[in-house]
Structure 1
Amino acid sequence: MRTIGLLGGMSWESSAHYYRLINQETRRRLGGTHSAPSVMVSVDFAAIEALQHAGDWVSLAGRMVDAAVQAERGGAELLVLCTNTMHKLADAMQQAISIALLHIADPVGQAIADQGLSRVGLLGTAFTMEQPFLRERLERNHGLQVITPAPEDRASIHRIIYDELVRGIVTDESRALYRAVMARLADSGAQAIILGCTEIMLLVDQADSPVPLFDTTTLHALAAVEAALAEGPS
């Protein structure tokens, strides 16, 4: 099994779930006391968040490239970026390393397509919902039609992620708001909903949605194990 590089800390709350899911799946696949060989580079999210909201993606690209190179030098044989939003910089990171970066959109898009679904709602940070880097890859590579919530709902989704979920705060009030947003997306024709922020799975699960949910954290983690166990390049 190849060594998985985890680029985390954005936030550490979801990075901890990545680590748990990857090792649970490795034990399920290999049995016994097996766990996944891995290295993690974990950044300080306070600095990342400040640069995100300042719109300084040039500085962020430099930090992400440096972290990716650090993971490769530490022994990673494939790279998992444990956040949706920072996949905006996935191409720059991939160009800087010789190992494969497992893009978060691909296992998600494949899982949705495998279910015969085509019109999906996307929840995430405002960056993920409003910028094209995730939506366009899902549309181009997986034939999906991606819709997002109304502007006021996008603002609420974003606020809850940054003010609550990345801090480990989970409230019934916020869960009710997410439920209402998901119901409105379903009413707008969404056949399924992508939980396109790695913290959202801390707040809602399938029982909260009228349509199937596709959690990027879980699907990305499982795909990492699959890639690490595969023969040859990922």
Structure 2
Amino acid sequence: MKRVGIIGGLGPESTVEYYQTFIKKFQNKMNSNKVLPELFINSINMYNIFRFIDENKMTDLIDYVGQAAQKLEEIGADVVVISANTPHIVFADVQNKVNVPMISIVEATYEKAVEQGMKKVGLLGTKFTMEHDFFKKPFLANEKEVIVPNEQDQMFIHEKIVEELENGIVKQETKEAFLRVINTMMEEENIDGLILGCTELPMILNDQDVTLPLLNTTEIHIDTMIEHVF
């Protein structure tokens, strides 16, 4: 049985979700609630991530996340994951800093979109995830479209993620505003799916809120982790 290492704290709310959901899915796979997986969590500072990207200090970002991955490898992790979407902007560089495999949330989400036959998907996340192309690359390389909100809506969504969701705050008014953005994307762009490209977004949005399929990157990532553990 492989031991997974989680780079967490990106933010704390989703790290807790990763831990609890991974255990539940592991126990379901084992068909027993009397077994627990062995795993490691290295919780780092999400605000350093935001600062490095905002200041375009990609070398510092690679070193910071890379050192977190190396520590997990040193203490015995057989596979490593980053429990957030935004730091995957340097995923390939971080993978090069460790000898154990890493599981990409981007690739796992792309594969799920293919499985569901999606061709034109919307993407919500931090401004870094929406404005950079790291999440879009596998889709665009395979003739699929990725649509993001306009710049004003991107800034609004980013602010609410950082100021509210990352701190465990869920407001109905924020949810309604997010749904207005999504409805605009559906009406104007005719998207056939929506990527919740921030691991905190499932706190405020779920399948009952919209009429199109949601790609919950947190759940998709954890499902892929389970596949790699056995």
Do they superpose with TM above 0.5?
yes
Partner of 1:71: 72
TM-score, normalised with respect to structure 2 = 0.95
Of stretches 197-206 and 109-118 in structure 1, the one that deviates more from structure 2 is 109-118
CA contact (8 A) 2:95 2:102 kept: yes
Mapped to 1, the partners of 2:108 and 2:226 lie a distance apart of 12
Letter in 1 for 2:121: V
Mapped to 1, the partners of 2:156 and 2:13 lie a distance apart of 20
For structure 1, the 5+ residue unaligned runs are 230-234
Is 1:10 the counterpart of 2:10? The answer is yes
User: Over aligned residue pairs, what C-alpha RMSD do you find?
Assistant: 1.3
Mapped to 2, the partners of 1:144 and 1:79 lie a distance apart of 28
Mapped to 2, the partners of 1:114 and 1:144 lie a distance apart of 13
Superposed CA deviations along residues 91-142 of structure 1, whole A, max 9, x for unmatched, are 11111111111010122111111111111000001110110111112332x5
CA contact (8 A) 1:106 1:138 kept: no
Letter in 2 for 1:215: N
CA contact (8 A) 2:14 2:83 kept: yes
Partner of 2:145: 145
TM-score, normalised with respect to structure 1 = 0.93
CA contact (8 A) 2:49 2:87 kept: no
Letter in 2 for 1:96: K
Q: Percent identity?
A: 27
- How far is 1:157 from its partner? 0.8
Partner of 2:211: 210
CA contact (8 A) 1:80 1:102 kept: yes
Is 1:55 the counterpart of 2:87? The answer is no
For structure 2, the 5+ residue unaligned runs are none
Letter in 2 for 1:10: L
Partner of 1:113: 114
Partner of 2:183: 183
Is 1:37 the counterpart of 2:38? The answer is yes
Provide the secondary structure at the position in 2 that maps to 1:75.
coil
- How far is 1:206 from its partner? 1.1
Partner of 1:232: none
Provide the secondary structure at the position in 1 that maps to 2:5.
strand
Mapped to 1, the partners of 2:128 and 2:75 lie a distance apart of 30
- How far is 1:143 from its partner? 4.6
Superposed CA deviations along residues 184-203 of structure 1, whole A, max 9, x for unmatched, are 11111110000000110111
Provide the secondary structure at the position in 1 that maps to 2:36.
coil
Letter in 1 for 2:127: A
